[in-house]
């Protein structure tokens, strides 16, 4: 072995030595559980059952999920949560970023204030918002009373007079569109009625909480994107007499498309993985199981008394497949419209 080869071998060994701690942690706590969960999902097994008693059942656990009424409900709850949380969060984050990218007083303070909720734990946020949504003492019902009496009636919107003074925000199973337009949604095959009726008021309350928390994080990323746009584009647009809307639509929005696309992907994935606020704000799946997302159902069958690890593993892989399909569809639909060069 030459001196050069010996030095290269020593350098490689040192590099592997530095990588070993992280590699071992990833192997033990990530790759190994992922592989074991996939294997277990093809068996009929519960926690603490000896491996010798595992019974191979093929895809039965996967087929069982789509016959499970609670799982189907949790699937539609998750879809509703994603639909009503992701687009408003992106739009409001972009609006906040554009406002805080201008030369306004207290800009640093507002940037910090918007970002603070994101670094607060979901548990603390959920407990605070649970009090805000309290039927008797919560601020939300106080705001609703003010809105109803001082704004709607002053605008002659008397048709909303039927709205109760106090809403049971976190215990109301009716869809928000059912409540607003006063119709009763009949049950449709496959639970499609859940999409037409909209998320239950209980789930929509959690959506509001989620939007409030995530705006700051997305706003910071949008801000970075806005500050990366060359100012000469706006100077040229000013010379041509472009309006603020024209500058936004023809300069800001296209050049922010890589950031928007990235945020759309990660927020979509995050929406399908939501779990903690539902567990804290509406334990047991909420009214009529209208707030339980897929991860909640997985947690329930796997770790809340039932200990059906095989079925929970199958639900986990169904969720993984759904996220992969969603990400692939987003990439096909919007990936080609992203402007990566300025």
Task: State percent of the chain over pLDDT 70.
Answer: 94
**Is the pLDDT at 65 greater than 70, yes or no?**
yes
Residue 275, pLDDT above cutoff 90? yes
Which residues share a beta bridge with 43?
56
Identify the bridge partners of residue 44 per DSSP, sorted by sequence position: 55
Above 70 in pLDDT, residue 149?
A: no
User: What is the helix (H) or strand (E) element at residue 135, kind and residue range?
Assistant: none
In the predicted model, what is the mean pLDDT of residues 108-135?
94
Q: Is 168 helix (H, G, I), strand (E, B) or coil?
A: coil
How far is residue 36's CA from residue 66's CA, in Å, rounded to a whole number? 23
Asked whether residue 61 carries a pLDDT value surpassing 60, the answer given is: yes
Mean pLDDT of the chain: 89
Residue 144 contacts residue 137 (beta carbons within 8 Å): no
CB 74 within 8 A of CB 297: yes
Q: What are the distances in angstroms from CA 178 to CA 126, 150, 184, 190, 201?
A: 26, 24, 6, 19, 10
Contact 259, 219 (CB under 8 A): no
**Residue 26's pLDDT band (cuts 50, 70, 90):** very high
Q: Is the pLDDT of residue 318 over 70?
A: yes
Residue among 214, 215, 209, 211 nearest 128 (CA) = 209
Cα separation, 263 vs 162, in Å, equals 39
């Amino acid at each position: 072995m030459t001196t050069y080869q010996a030095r290269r071998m020593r350098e490689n060994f040192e590099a592997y030595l530095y990588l070993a701690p992280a590699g071992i942690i990833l192997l033990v706590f990530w790759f190994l559980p992922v592989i074991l969960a996939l294997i277990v999902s093809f068996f009929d097994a519960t926690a603490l059952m000896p491996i010798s008693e595992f019974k191979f059942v093929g895809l039965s656990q996967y087929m069982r999920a789509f016959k499970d009424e609670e799982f189907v409900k949790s699937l539609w709850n998750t879809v509703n949560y994603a639909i009503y949380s992701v687009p408003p969060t992106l739009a409001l984050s972009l609006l906040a970023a554009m406002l805080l990218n201008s030369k306004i007083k207290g800009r640093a303070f507002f940037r910090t204030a918007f970002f603070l909720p994101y670094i607060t734990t979901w548990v603390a946020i959920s407990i605070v918002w649970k009090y805000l949504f309290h039927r008797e003492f919560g601020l939300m019902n106080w705001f609703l009373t003010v809105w109803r009496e001082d704004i709607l009636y002053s605008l002659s919107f008397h048709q909303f007079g039927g709205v109760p003074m106090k809403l049971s925000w976190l215990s109301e199973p009716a869809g928000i569109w059912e409540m607003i337009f006063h119709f009763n949604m009949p049950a449709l095959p496959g639970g499609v009625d859940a999409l037409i009726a909209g998320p239950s008021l209980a789930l929509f309350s959690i959506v509001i909480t989620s939007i409030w928390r995530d705006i700051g994080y997305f706003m910071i990323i949008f801000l970075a994107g806005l500050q990366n746009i060359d100012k000469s584009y706006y100077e040229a647009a000013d010379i041509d007499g472009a309006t603020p809307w024209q500058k936004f639509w023809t300069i800001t929005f296209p050049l922010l498309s890589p950031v928007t696309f990235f945020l759309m992907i990660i927020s979509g994935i995050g929406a399908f993985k939501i779990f903690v606020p539902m567990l804290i704000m509406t334990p047991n799946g909420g009214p009529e199981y209208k707030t339980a997302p897929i991860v909640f159902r997985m947690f329930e069958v796997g770790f809340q008394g039932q200990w059906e690890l095989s079925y929970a593993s199958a639900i986990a892989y169904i969720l993984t497949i759904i996220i992969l399909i969603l990400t692939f569809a987003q990439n096909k639909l919007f990936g080609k419209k992203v402007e990566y060069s300025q």
